[in-house]
Every structure is written in C-alpha cells, then in structure tokens.
Amino acid sequence: MERILKAAVLGMGNMGRGHARSLMRMEQVDIAALCSNPVDDARHFAEENHLVCPVFDDFDRMLDEVPIDVLYICLPPFAHDGQFEKAAERGIHIFIEKPVALTAERGMAMAEAARENKIITQVGYQMRFGTAVKKFKEYMDNGRAGRPTLYMADYECNSLHGPWWRDVKKCGGQVFEQVIHLYDMGLYLMGRASSVNGYIANLCHTQVEGYTVEDTSTCSIRFENGALGSVCGSNCSVKNQWNARFRVICENMTADFTDQNHGVFTFTDKESVEIVEIAGDTDCTYEEDCYFIGAVLGEHKAMADIQEGYEGLRLVSAVVESSGQEGKTVRIHP
Ligand SMILES: NC(=O)c1ccc[n+]([C@@H]2O[C@H](COP(=O)([O-])OP(=O)(O)OC[C@H]3O[C@@H](n4cnc5c(N)ncnc54)[C@H](O)[C@@H]3O)[C@@H](O)[C@H]2O)c1
C-alpha cells in the first residue's frame, strides 16, 4: 500500500490556507493538525473545508500530541521562533515559506539543523516551477542556451499590504518579503553570488504611519561564474498589479520572462533568428507542494532546500547591509 504522510500546517493565513488546500488534493497526504495564533484562523479553515483534525494555538503542544511526518511553516517572518529547529530535531520534514527568517544567521542555523537531522526541506520559491522557467532550464542543461552572462529583474507593485508587512522589524522590508523571489531566481538560473552593491529607500510612503519598510530598491550582483546581474524593486508602481519580470542574456539565447509561466526565447547563435514563445498555466503553488511531497516519499531529490533559502536570505541581507554603507561592496562567497 502507498505510504500516507501525516501533515501539519503552522500559520493559517493566505499561504497556510493555500498549501493546506494543495495537501487536501493529494492522496498520499492526510492533514493531521493545524496550528495558528489566533486559533480561529485554523478552526475556520477546518470548518469551511470539512476537515476533521485537531486545531492548536500552541505549536509545542501540537508537536507533543500529534505524530506528524511533514510540517508546513507559513508564519510571517517575525513569528519564526525556533519552530523549524524543534520540528527538525524530531525528524519532521519541513516546507517553509520565504523569507525563512529575518537574519542570515537564523537562516544558517536552520540549514544546520536540517543537515544534522537529515530532514528533507523546501522553501516556498514557487516561481521555479513555472512552465517557462522549466523550459529555460532545459535549454541551459542541454547546452543550447550557452553560458548565462546577464540577469535583469524587477519586481513592482503598489499596495500597503497588511500591518506586519509595513513594519520593517516584523517583515524585513520589500526585498526580504517580495523581491526575494527574483533574487532566488537569479541564484537558481545564474549560480551562487559572490558580491553585491545595493541601495534601498522609502520615497513614496514617508507620510504613511507605521510604514517603515523601503519602497524602492536596486542592486548589482556579481555571480561566481563571472556573470553579472541587477535586481530592482518598487512599491510605488501601478496599483492592483504585482509584476515580477526577468530577463537572461546567454551566449546563444536571450530570454524574456513576463512571469514564470510566460517567456520569449530568442536564439542569437545562427544567421536567422529563431524565436520560441512559451505560454503555460502551471499552478505553481500546487506544483511545488507535489514536488515537496514527492521528495519526502523519495521519488526525486529535494529542490529549493533550506540551504538555498539561506543563500537567498544572505543575498537580500547583503543588499540592505550595502545600502547602509552607501552602496559599498558586500562579499557573499569569496
Ligand atoms: N511564496 C509566496 O509567493 C508568498 C506569498 C505571500 C506570502 N508568503 C510568505 O508566507 C508567509 C506568511 O504570509 P501570509 O500572507 O500567509 O501571512 P498572513 O498574515 O495571511 O497569515 C499568517 C498566519 O500566521 C498566524 N500566526 C502569526 N503568528 C503566529 C504564531 N506565533 N504562532 C502561530 N501562528 C501564528 C496567523 O494567525 C495567521 O494565520 C510570509 O513569510 C510571507 O512572506 C509567500
């Protein structure tokens, strides 16, 4: 008989509910418990979805009372308080939403806990699962794209979001919370970063009470393989739009992505230019959840694991650190 994994979800807001819905669609998974503070978030989800399982507001009690194989951590950044390490010590496999912590040091401790306890981990970088991103990776892996030379990305929106999001002490800032998806994409497509120079600023929200995060950011990246990159972020752009666009110039191909599912690849290595257009409709959250469960069941190797979550966190921390030093170069990997 197929193995059934017992899952728990910690944090039942937007992301916790989304992942719980994915898990409910999978035959190999039973949701064994939900935890949130306030507990009503978990209780309402269970009631609305006819899910029969215990709900908790106390994470430690949930760990003591319910045997679980996999844990989804979907907390806001400020609420991370050692839950990752506690679950890792019990050998529980962990999916965790980005950013995995508010400091690179905390991210490194999590990666160490995962290694020590030999657990499978995955971070919520669902853009990696987009149709166009997967196709691009194929062209990279089979050599058709050639060497990647330049990565250009920009994340734009215009929203006040929720109260914790506007508070830099609770969320880390827009680079930690949102633009990190594009920093991760840069690491995924170009390889490890060796150094960055960054600037962040609050230009449009100085009069908004409690708004202490930056609304504008930019950075230059040098990758270990010699390639270069730039990533910009803005929360002063078009209202009701969330755009995450990126572009990669490789030796034989230039790829333009309007999002992870849509890309135009222009091959530049022949006399006549060849263009390939990709338009997919992958449900990337469901796809990443299926991938994580498959990795726990031993069907394939892990992807976007906590070490990679740490690398992304290290990169955005370096952007903020550089900005605090007038854009001075911050080294990441020697
Ligand atoms: N991958 C993505 O595209 C994506 C998109 C949005 C948010 N996120 C990330 O997901 C995480 C959660 O964001 P969200 O939008 O779901 O937040 P949210 O505010 O909607 O929900 C947070 C949930 O956590 C619970 N909670 C807060 N503190 C708690 C604690 N100490 N113990 C237990 N429960 C607690 C709240 O009750 C709530 O249910 C954030 O890190 C965010 O960056 C990822």
Task: State whether 32 and 161 are in the same domain.
Answer: no
Give 179's pLDDT tier (boundaries 50, 70, 90). Answer: very high
Any idea which residue has 């950075």 for tokens? 219
- Is pLDDT of 332 > 90? yes
**Contact yes or no for 200/172 (Cβ under 8 A):** no
Place of tokens 């998806």: 181
Residue 24 near residue 14 (C-beta atoms within 8 A): no
161 and 86 housed in the same domain: no
> Confidence band (pLDDT; 50, 70, 90) for 27?
very high
Are 30 and 78 in a shared domain?
A: yes
Q: Are residues 300 and 254 part of one domain?
A: yes
Average pLDDT of the residues of the chain = 97
For 33, the token pair is 């418990």
How confident is the model over 146-155, as a mean pLDDT? 98
> Can you give the CATH number for the domain in which 201 is found?
3.30.360.10
Q: How far is the CA of 13 from the centre of ligand 1 (A)?
A: 5
Mean pLDDT of 215-241: 98
Q: Give percent above pLDDT 90 in the chain.
A: 97
State which of 103, 124, 145 marks the end of a domain. 124
The 10s digit of each residue's pLDDT in 245-291 is 999 999 999 999 999 999 999 999 988 889 999 999 999 999 999 99
Residues 226 and 276 in one domain: yes
Eight-state DSSP code of residue 28: T
How confident is residue 243, by pLDDT bands cut at 50, 70 and 90?
very high
Closest by CA to 13, choosing from 46, 43, 41, is: 41
113, 85 in Cβ contact below 8 A? yes
In the predicted structure, residue 2 carries a pLDDT above the cut 80: no
62, 97, 124 - which closes a domain: 124
Determine the average pLDDT of the residues in 192-219. Answer: 97
Task: Let me know whether 98 and 154 are in one domain.
Answer: no
Q: Under a CB-based contact definition with an 8 Å cutoff, are residues 42 and 56 in contact? A: yes
Which of 66, 101, 124 is where one domain is finished? 124
Q: What number does the ligand 1 atom closest to the CA of 164 have?
A: 19
71 and 140 part of one domain: no
Tell how far the Cα of 286 is from the centroid of ligand 1, in angstroms: 17
Domain count, the chain: 2
For 40, the domain range is: 5-124
Residue bearing tokens 């755009």: 243
**Together in a domain, 114 and 158:** no
How many CB atoms are closer than 10 A to CB 133?
A: 24
Cα 76 to middle of ligand 1, angstroms: 4
Q: Encode pLDDT of 34-71 as tens digits.
A: 999 999 999 999 999 999 999 999 999 999 999 999 99
Cα 299 to Cα 69, 71, 126, 130, distances in angstroms: 16, 18, 19, 20
CA 121/CA 95 separation, integer angstroms: 6
Q: State the pLDDT at residue 270.
A: 85
| Ligand 1 centroid – CA 72 distance (Å) | 11
What residues line ligand 1, using a CB cutoff of 6 Å? 10-16, 35-38, 41, 74-77, 79, 97-98, 124, 126, 162, 177
Q: What is the CATH number of the domain that holds 102?
A: 3.40.50.720
Same domain, 157 and 232: yes
Question: For a substitution probing ligand 1, which of 10, 14, 96 has the most ligand atoms within 8 Å of its CB?
Answer: 14
pLDDT of residue 312: 97
184 in Cβ contact with 125 (< 8 Å): yes
Which of 10, 75, 157 is the best mutation target for the ligand 1 pocket, counting ligand atoms within 8 Å of the beta carbon and taking the most? 75
pLDDT value for 1? 54
Q: Whose CA is nearest to atom 15 of ligand 1?
A: 14
- For residues 180 and 94, membership in a common domain is answered with no
HSE toward the beta carbon, residue 119, CA cutoff 13 A: 26
**β-pair partners for 267:** 253, 274
Give, as one character, the DSSP assignment of residue 97. Answer: P
CA of residue 95 to ligand 1 center, whole Å: 13
> Both 230 and 286 in a single domain?
yes
Atom in ligand 1 nearest the alpha carbon of residue 38: 37
Nearest atom (ligand 1) to Cα of 12: 39
The continuous run of DSSP H or E covering 122 comes out as strand 121-123
Q: Which one of 43, 74, 177, 184 would you pick to mutate in the ligand 1 pocket, going by the greatest count of ligand atoms within 8 A of its CB?
A: 74
Q: Ligand 1 atom 5: the closest Cα is on which residue?
A: 15
Q: What's the pLDDT tens digit per position in 70-126?
A: 999 999 999 999 999 999 999 999 999 999 999 999 999 999 999 999 999 999 999
Q: How far is the CA of 17 from the centre of ligand 1 (A)?
A: 10
**One domain for residues 152 and 83:** no
